[in-house]
A and B are shown apart, each in its own frame.
Chain A
Amino acid sequence: MLEIKNLHARVGDKEILKGIDLTIADGEIHAIMGTNGAGKSTLSNVIVGNPAYEVTEGSIIFNGQDLLSMNTEERANAGIFMSFQAPIEIPGVSMTNFMRAAVNSRRKAQGKEPLKSTDFLKIMREKRKLVEIDQKLMNRSVNEGFSGGERKRNEIFQMAMLEPTFCILDETDSGLDVDALRIVAEGFNKLRTNETSALVITHYQRLLDYIRPQFVHVLIDGRIVMTEGPELALKIETEGFDWIKNQQ
């Protein structure tokens, strides 16, 4: 699915990723944990092609394609989706119009005709129920006046609409109460298929109770310094990162 080799990236003059190697196979869930400023969000932004980040070295291959030569929307339409840590408000663009543009762009990239309006609304309705998101939010501008929980749920709703094959959950648990976290995580679990892969970025074990990774990586100072099974997340939850740092 995804193969990252020796990835270096920076924002402005500041080098943040200093040689990341990471391979994610079809259907695998990988978690990345790490201290603040370690580069977790930079890694996810680089994978999806945020133009604010500059890759200086290394490669990312996604299903055989050279990801770094593709622009943001091409990567999205190839099946990559990021659930944003802080979803963006877009005043004046309704959720419905936003989703219609996104779904039809995806279809166009796949060589399909745009969805008929009635079909589109039907799919919206089905997916909305899946993640328990209120119809009234669909008539509002994107994320405008949404609570923190509604925004995160809205991210999972968009994932449901776009049916990506590779999902990045960038601190989806931040700002969520326990109930909201459960709904969001269960929504994600319902949506994923055996082929869907995911990269889950989190500070805490909590989310991983619901979305169970096969691998947990620890990112410190722009490098992956440790990779183990899910038990590593539990150990970090109780002991923090210092013992890992001390091993370096």
Chain B
Amino acid sequence: MKSEQQYIELYNEVNQLIKQKSCEPMNAVRDAAFQVFRAQGFPTQKLERYKYTDVPTAFAPNYGISLNSAAINPSQYIYSISAAPIDIRPYYNKIADAADSITALNTALVHDGILVYVPKNENSDVPIQIDNHLSGNISTMLNRRLLIVLEQGAQATVIINDKGGVHPDDISFLTTQVVEVFCQPNSHLDLYEVEETDKSCSRFSNVYIRAERDSSVRHNSITLTNGLTRNLCDAYLVGENAQLTLNGCVIGSESQHIDNNTLIRHCAPQCQSDQLYKYVLDGHSVGAFAGKILVDKDAQKTTSQETNANLCASPTARMYSQPMLEIYADDVKCNHGSTVGVMDEAALFYMRQRGIPEAEARMLLKNAFMGGVIDQIPLRSLRDRLYVKIEKRFLGEYEKCEACRLCK
């Protein structure tokens, strides 16, 4: 049986139930999304944007589907999509790529989600945190949806924490996530995703960003311990002088697989994008980064910097790096580059001659390599927390759930 067949059957079985639990704007696009998924099936590695991850195999196990709604305490700026204070139809599923099978499957199966909505000129001074815990006694598929709408002049910081939990060893989790971000003129969003689940988890995340005139978006994706990670991020700079920072840091070990695939499209003049993705890969882990910068004909005075730097800390780790630049305007400043290196043996020897044990010396070098991404995070409390997490991760002392109330 092909992987997709069980999801097609599942949809036929439960779509009425999903529709009952869901809301009109989500149901309005559901059947069409399902038809796209049914027609296309899962993307294979023959598709350019999926060449580094075997999607059908990841979806092959028989996962149960959870139709329970997440408990959201409505507070300022954060709501259930089904209880949105605004009409979400102009936003919901509007910039998500309808032709992407994973987005289509998510749209078909998701029954609710989270809306972060900051009205005009308001500022969420306190970071909005969304914690996802994966735990349970049966292997489960979760489909998540997040909609972020910042009206003109609004500001927000959103932190998504993905955590693992206590579960039997033979239980695994599969998450699909679609995030749509709308930044209206002169709004400012910092969006952090800190993934610290465990190796039994597979993650398929599609993030879509639309940045209007004079807005700025900083998206930082941190992958620490997840088993199989596939992150896609498409960002559209549609208004003049929009700014985007798209950063990521990845730590891989054992047999982790981490694939980041990004597209930054400069649609309007005078926009700026900066991209820095760093990977440290150990064990048999496999990393992939494919990032395309696309500069439209009218996007004059674009400045864009794309950097992917990678450290293969073990001889059996593998990295695939594919920076791409496609420019149709004639007055732009764009750079892209990628490096893949190994541990600096001379530096290791120097540190060990000073008495620092090899494992600690390696940790210091890996930490130093990652520092460049974390240093850029303006939110100090998060930055400090990440330094600690990353150091622990490199020392192999990672407690999968140190701050988790569920596991204590």
Contacts and interface: CB of A to CB of B under 8 A. Distances in A.
Interface of A: 48-52, 71-73, 76-77, 81-82, 84, 87-93, 97-98, 101-102, 105-106, 109, 141-142, 158, 162
B387 to A, nearest CB: 11
A73 B367 CA distance: 20
B353 A82 contact: yes
Given A73-B358, A77-B355, A105-B357, A92 B349 contact: no
Contacts of A102: 351, 354-356
Interface stretch (B14-22, B100-108, B368-376): B368-376
Interface residues of B, number: 23
A51 B349 contact: yes
Contacts of A109: 355
A88 B352 contact: no
Given A92-B371, A105-B357, 13 more contacts: A72-B353, A76-B354, A77-B355, A84-B350, A88-B344, A90-B364, A92-B367, A92-B369, A93-B367, A101-B356, A101-B361, A101-B364, A106-B355
21 contacts: A50-B353, A51-B349, A52-B349, A73-B352, A76-B353, A77-B355, A84-B353, A88-B346, A90-B344, A90-B347, A90-B350, A90-B368, A92-B365, A92-B367, A93-B364, A97-B364, A101-B351, A101-B361, A102-B355, A105-B356, A162-B354
A102 B365 CA distance: 14
Contacts of B355: 73, 76-77, 102, 105-106, 109, 162
A50 B372 contact: no
B338 to A, nearest CB: 18
A72 B352 contact: yes
A82 B351 CA distance: 11
Contacts of B356: 73, 98, 101-102, 105
Contact of B365 (A48, A51, A71, A90): A90
Given A73-B357, A88-B346, A93 B365 contact: yes
Contacts of B131: none
Contacts of A98: 351, 354, 356, 364
B384 interface: no
Interface string B325-350: 00000000000000000001111011
A89 B371 CA distance: 16
B360 A101 contact: yes
A93 B344 CA distance: 13
Contacts of B360: 101, 105
B347 A158 contact: no
A51 B345 CA distance: 9
Contacts of A82: 353
Contacts of B357: 73, 105
Interface string B375-406: 00000000000000000000000000000000
Nearest to B369: A92
B29 to A, nearest CB: 46
Contacts of B371: 92
Contacts of B349: 50-52, 72, 88
Most buried by A among B344, B354, B357, B361: B354
Nearest to A141: B368
A84 B364 CA distance: 20
Nearest to A82: B353
B350 A88 contact: yes
Contacts of B364: 90, 93, 97-98, 101
A158 B358 contact: no
A133 B187 CA distance: 48
Contacts of A48: 353
Most buried by A among B349, B352, B361: B352
B365 A76 contact: no
A162 B351 CA distance: 13
B82 to A, nearest CB: 46
A36 B386 CA distance: 48
Interface in B291-344: 344
